[in-house]
Amino acid sequence: LPFSFEVKDSDLLGRIGVLKVGGKSLETPYMFPVIHPVSQNVPTGELLSMGFRGLMTNSYIIHSRRREEALKEGIHKLLGYDGVLMTDSGGYQVLEYGDLELGYREVASFQSLIHSDIAVTLDRPTGYPQEKRVAKDTVDYSLANARATLEGFGSSETVWVGPIQGGLYFDLVTRSARSLAKAGFQMLALGSPVQVMENYMYADLVRMIITAKRAIPYATPLHLFGAGHPLTMPMAVALGCDTFDSASYVLFARSGRYMTRGGVLTLKSMKYLPCSCPVCTKTSVMELLELDHPQRTRQLSIHNLFILKDELQACKEAIVEGRLWDIVEERSMAHPRLREAFLEFAGLSSELTLGTPALKERGLFVRSASDLSRPEILSAQRRLADAIERSSRSARVGIGEGEGRKGSQMGKGGDLYKVHPIFGPFPAELEFHYPLGQTEVGDMVPQFSLEAGKKQLRALGYRKVTIAGGSSGKKKVRSRRSRRGASPSLRSSSARPR
């Protein structure tokens, strides 16, 4: 099999996967640095030694500037790189330079003859803003080429990627994605996010990605074209984008822009280098500014790549630890428009539960009201609704820790409940079950009061709801966690001796 994709771990819709192409493999989420086949500033060998085992380049530029060489040597030898090479079709350039006689057949045949590992079929980017009529044409054109490529070149060793177009017309995105998946593409790529991102339309980016994800099988890897920006990467990962490509590391470097996790800075106006990558530990702002342009671009490119790589590593670690939501929320604080996007993202909670483990080893942080939409909380609420079963006409609400363990108390004088600041009333024997006992709640989050808990129990059909506990003898020392988890009103109404 020349191609396979295996998901090893997941959180939200983000996943850690292994993408196998031919005899080579990449761990996802992965970002392909985009390299220029003629004027590459950072040598491919250096990219490999930085840990980039896959690169992306443009087959159109190779075709127009180094065709004979490429056909003779193959793309790997041409670029001095034996990792995974992905080629873009150059649909954008074909359009830009009006080279319209170059059809899908020439583009596909060339990519296959130079032994590209992964190749995008000839498409026409929708772009933004765009009229719907034109957007529809880009989808139809890209789809027809994609189908014809798979038919004519499907048996070659090159893995074909179907480009999803449609821009911000979500009905078109859905049709495009569905049709490509149905045509049999093993990997898909979502187009047109660049202008959307340049216009800070991050909430639209969320809508675009989730629209595409809904239309394709969960097992199909999804590439997001040109989304190499540290601010949006965690959110794109959490929405299920498996691979990215970035030319931004070098484009930013050329104009003297320095990436940080919190945003992009201008070198000229900086005093310090807030980074410990090999570039930043050996130099200073002054020294970088004194370099000639190609040298400075190269140093800044390497730094920018380290930032992007760091951010991806952080996302992967967060997936393993089950705290991808936390990192997405943290990054959203960097820009008001990202915050907007985060609220859009939080609204997708029920879909995000799909890849979220039901049981996590780490406790849950509920730091803001929007954290109440965490998929872990939604799943727990569903499980709780199933677990609540009325066996008596009266209910007692326990306020001391550990009472739920005393089975003898159940049924005696009514069903025993506790009130959780977030989940409300729950059967007391579940006190130490995940995530009831493992949730840290911030003071800014609206919480259940004891009264609200009692009211909810009455709504469940209990005639009589009383307070239990406070007199049950042996007390355990309450953990810091449960102390913080208790709501203020719960605490103030506690009559227990201290």
Q: Which residues bind Zn ion (CB under 5 A)?
A: 275, 277, 279-280, 303
CA distance 203 to 196: 9
CA dihedral (146, 148, 150, 154) in degrees, to 10, reads -150
Report CA 207 to chain centroid distance, whole Å.
Answer: 13
CA distance 61 to 94: 10
Nearer to Zn ion, 277 or 285 (CB): 277
Which of 11, 88, 204, 371 does the annotation list as catalytic?
88
Nearer to Zn ion, 271 or 474 (CB): 271
For the beta carbon of residue 342, count every other beta carbon within 10 angstroms.
Answer: 23
Nearer to Zn ion, 267 or 275 (CB): 275
What is the closest distance, in whole angstroms, from the C-beta atom of residue 304 to Zn ion in the complex? Answer: 8
What is the closest distance, in whole angstroms, from the C-beta atom of residue 335 to Zn ion in the complex? Answer: 21
What is the closest distance, in whole angstroms, from the C-beta atom of residue 278 to Zn ion in the complex? Answer: 8
Q: Helix, strand or coil for residue 446? A: coil
Q: Is 137 an active-site residue?
A: no
From residue 208, give the alpha-carbon distance in Å to each of 148, 172, 203, 348, 396. 26, 11, 9, 13, 48
Nearer to Zn ion, 192 or 299 (CB): 299
Are 233 and 304 a contacting pair, CB within 8 Å? no
What is the closest distance, in whole angstroms, from the C-beta atom of residue 160 to Zn ion in the complex? Answer: 36
Q: What is the DSSP string of 30-62?
A: EEEEB--SSS-SS-HHHHHHTT--EEEEEHHHH
What is the closest distance, in whole angstroms, from the C-beta atom of residue 31 to Zn ion in the complex? Answer: 16
CA distance 105 to 231: 38
Q: Helix, strand or coil for residue 329? A: helix
Nearer to Zn ion, 194 or 279 (CB): 279
The residues annotated as belonging to the active site are 88
